[in-house]
Amino acid sequence: MARFLKKREESQGLAPGSLVFIGSKKTKHIHIRVIDYDQKKFDESELKNIKDGTVFKETNTVTWINVDGLHDLKVMKEIGDSFDIHPLLMEDILNTGQRPKLEEFDDCIFIVLKMLRHDKKKPIIISEQLSLVLGKTFLITFQEQPGDVFEPVRERIRKQKGRIRSAGIDYLAYALLDIVVDNYIHIIEGMGEQIEDLEEDVLNNPESSVMEKINNFKREMNFLRKLIRPAREAIAQLSKTDSELIHEDTLPFLKDLLDHITQAVEAIDTYRDMLSDELNIYNSTISNRMNDVMKVLTIFAAIFIPLTFIAGIYGTNFEYLPELHFKYSYFIFWGFLVLVAIVMLAFFKKKKWL
């Protein structure tokens, strides 16, 4: 399936809010995990029936419901109905090619981002859609498959590290967004080191394999730029929100998060410029090498033009050619040829053409 734009034939012609899964099935069954906590209480479990999770809607604790897998439309509809999620939001959740964005409603905030990871088989970046529905007492996260970058946050909740157990649901949303952005920076830094090391290869060993690496990095940087720039817009909108779901105590953390993702975007732009410069250096180096080759060939050709001219004259078949029967004509002829070549080489060196 295409990484930059996913096909939407299945949703064409349907009414807005129709539940259609757009993407590839990445897990056999949908898994629903719940973490419910406050300063004193902590509970972690797996839901077999989403209707059992509706009890968390009216509690005073912080409830994080994580859904792994989006392909089962029946289960997804039950989730939407149980937590009063608008059908248009459910439609966006099921569309895994959704552009990162933020939408505010009276009773919830909806955020779409991409989680990134390196492909183990190919040197490419794989994205997975992450959707967050932030309510008054609950946070629901939707992922395409099990496995994420959230385990450090879960450990902080379990071991009551930092302020996360004493903060509200909005701070939990911030913590999840923060670790997603930190992963962006980690991936960009890793690729950046390779890009910087590539500059030495461009200068010292400009082979076709180096050109291929530059093109691969340019493609991946364009892919990252497409995903992270709109994510910055969403976080910028979140950091300026006046929604009652975001408390004033959380706003400074969101502004700090905006600084981090801005740093990630600027790093992408910097490395894209570096790749363009490396591509120009590569082309210039190849061009200079070709010029050196052409210069050597031109010098050889220039030397042999008069030599060929002289040899052509004395290679004619006229009977009374001067010096034809002179005893030392052959040696004089070769000496004259060598002298012409030496004079021409000295002239080229004087002109600094060599």
Residues 69-88 have pLDDT tens digits of 998 899 999 999 888 898 89
> Does 303 lie in the same domain as 210?
no
Residue 170 is assigned to a structural domain of this protein: yes
Q: Tell me how many domains the chain contains.
A: 2
> Does 28 lie in the same domain as 127?
yes
Residue 9 is assigned to a structural domain of this protein: no
> Does 218 lie in the same domain as 102?
yes
> Does 334 lie in the same domain as 247?
no
Residue 140 is assigned to a structural domain of this protein: yes
> Does 262 lie in the same domain as 234?
yes
What distances in angstroms separate CA 287 from CA 56, 274, 277, one per listed residue? 67, 20, 15
CATH code of residue 68: 3.30.460.20
Note down the domain range covering 336.
287-316+323-350
Q: In the predicted model, is pLDDT for residue 192 greater than 60?
A: yes
pLDDT, position 11: 55
**Of 265, 284, 303, at which residue does a domain stop?**
284
Residue 49 is assigned to a structural domain of this protein: yes
Residue 303 in 3-state DSSP? helix
> Does 180 lie in the same domain as 271?
yes
> Does 257 lie in the same domain as 332?
no
What's the rounded mean pLDDT across residues 319-346?
82
Which tens digit of pLDDT belongs to each residue from 19-73? 888 888 888 889 999 999 988 889 999 988 887 788 888 788 899 999 999 988 9
Residue 3 is assigned to a structural domain of this protein: no
The DSSP secondary-structure symbol of 301 reads H
State both tokens at 146: 């099990």
Residue 351 in 3-state DSSP? coil
Residue 300 is assigned to a structural domain of this protein: yes
Which of 181, 105, 162, 111 has its CA nearest to residue 136? 105
pLDDT, position 8: 58
Residue 34 is assigned to a structural domain of this protein: yes
Phi/psi at 62 (nearest 5 deg)?
-90, 125
> Does 141 lie in the same domain as 171?
yes
Cα–Cα distance for residue pair 113/96, rounded to 1 Å: 10
Sign (positive or negative) of CA dihedral 142, 144, 149, 154: positive
Mean residue pLDDT across the chain: 87
- pTM for the model stands at 0.81
Q: In the predicted model, is pLDDT for residue 320 greater than 80?
A: no
pLDDT, position 309: 87
> Does 276 lie in the same domain as 190?
yes
> Does 234 lie in the same domain as 188?
yes
Cα–Cα distance for residue pair 101/232, rounded to 1 Å: 9
Which tens digit of pLDDT belongs to each residue from 232-253? 999 999 999 999 999 999 999 9
Residue 5 is assigned to a structural domain of this protein: no
> Does 293 lie in the same domain as 188?
no
Low-confidence winner among 144-158, 262-276, 315-329 (lowest mean pLDDT): 315-329
Query: What percent of the chain stands above pLDDT 70?
Result: 95
Q: Where are the beta strands (DSSP E) in the chain?
A: 31-37, 42-47, 62-68, 101-104, 109-118, 125-134, 138-143
> Does 304 lie in the same domain as 259?
no
